Copies of this chain bind each other. A is one copy, B any other.
Amino acid sequence: MSLVVMKFGGSSVADADSVKRVARRIVETKKAGNDVCVVVSAMGDSTDELIDLATQISPLPPLREMDMLLTAGERISMAVMAMAIANLGYTAQSFTGSQAGIITDEQHGKARILDVTPGRIRAAMDVGHIAIVAGFQGVSQETKNITTLGRGGSDTTAVALAAALEADVCEIYTDVDGVFTADPRIVPTARKLDRVSSEEMLELAANGAKILMLRCVEYARRYNLPIHVRSSFSHKEGTLVMDHPEGADVEASLISGVAHDRSEAKITIVGVPDNPGKAAEIFEALSQAGVNIDMIVQNVSAVETGLTDISFTLPKTDGPQAAQFLGRVQERVGFRSLQYDDQIGKLSLVGAGMKSNPGVSATFFKALADSGINIEMISTSEIRISVVTRDDQLDDAVRAVHTAFGLDSASGEAVVYGGTGR
């Protein structure tokens, strides 16, 4: 007998019929002899509707109350899911994040999980119930206030519970068949990956692949927990995110995929005096502003002026905040001006096989050059190369790189289930 954690997102439980369909799926897993713990998100657009309501009430609602409000969404979906399961002749009990023992810090709206004490979940499963847990929410350790985990929070709930329950697998159900070599909306010949290492998945998630949130992959990696990303609309195997038991996967494919990201902007700080400590002053100011910096490039300074330019990328949403804080230190640092550019895109090639294959960079840059793509910034890790391009060239860039590394299937649909991902 295995212990399976199954997580269903909002689109999988959008209405009564979807809930019933998912309930049958859950019962199948239970019938197969597993202990089952289910994590659900709020139904369909219900979270957006609650946000709309809050906006009608107040332009700046207190975060504690926003969390109290939004957690009503999962409360509804988990209760109706338990009802749908009961209607199939199986017993289910629903639990809020607090009841499930999801203990967080005090940061409303983006709380981090500090501990998971799933005693009630374990007890419910021990007497044969299917446990249904509200995703995205917890209770704070100090003040016992209700918190939410922020974007992708339900995935994190599922993985954290799976780790605490020592589950055999955490199944993340979604509306696509798994993790693909690229976004199929941009690359129709993209292939589903049967398996991907957690290190690669981390890089993919951190660089724009939206299928799993970074936090959730980090959590699973820390606890060595396999994640199975699969579709709630079919019974096909999805993508297994897990590491080879003996460390490096000998059969690792060279490249697992091409991620892209349109959520970042670029700030260039023009005319920075090339003295020691100037960069530190700049990035300290940005750190105080709470801005997440991604890539950084500094040019060699011009000999005649002794001035240099520093460019970095950051989430578009952090742009105004960053500009404000840089404005405050402009005089002290002595730079000339700021340039803000949000018409950029980022492309990342990810593959564990890169480590031992020096030819990858050459193939990569040649593919981009042959397609006339101008590269504005470059950054690399051991298993990733990322470049910044013009936004309107990004799709072409993704397709060019995908093709250059032989990731295209003969026809997108036919090979998606062919299992040639590695």
Give A residues with C-beta under 8 Å from B.
16, 19-20, 50, 53-54, 56-62, 64-66, 68-69, 71-73, 75-76, 78-80, 82-84, 86-87, 91-94, 99, 120, 144
Contacts and interface: CB of A to CB of B under 8 A. Distances in A.
A58 B87 contact: yes
Dominant SS at the A interface?
helix
A414 B72 CA distance: 45
A306 to B, nearest CB: 52
A402 B54 CA distance: 47
Contacts of A66: 79, 83
Contact of A57 (B61, B64, B65, B80): B80
Contact of A68 (B59, B78, B84, B120): B78
A334 to B, nearest CB: 42
Stoichiometry, as copies per complex, reads 2
Contacts of A16: 53, 56-57
Given A56-B16, A58-B87, A87-B58, A71 B75 contact: yes
A19 B57 contact: yes
A236 to B, nearest CB: 27
A176 B72 CA distance: 30
B69 A50 contact: no
A83 B71 contact: no
29 contacts: A16-B56, A19-B57, A20-B57, A53-B76, A53-B80, A54-B80, A54-B83, A57-B83, A57-B87, A58-B86, A59-B87, A62-B83, A62-B86, A62-B91, A64-B93, A65-B80, A65-B82, A65-B86, A65-B92, A65-B94, A66-B79, A68-B94, A69-B75, A69-B79, A71-B75, A72-B75, A72-B76, A72-B79, A99-B144
A84 B58 contact: yes
Contact of A75 (B56, B57, B75): B75
A54 B54 CA distance: 25
Contacts of A50: 76
Contacts of A54: 79-80, 83
A59 B92 CA distance: 16
A333 B80 CA distance: 45
Contacts of A58: 83-84, 86-87
Contacts of A94: 65, 68
B71 A84 contact: no
Contacts of A61: 83, 86-87
A144 to B, nearest CB: 7
Contacts of A72: 72-73, 75-76, 79
Contacts of A65: 79-80, 82-83, 86, 92-94
- In the A-B complex, the 5 residue pairs with the smallest Cβ-Cβ separation, listed nearest first, are A69-B79, A16-B56, A58-B87, A68-B79, A61-B83
A75 B68 contact: yes
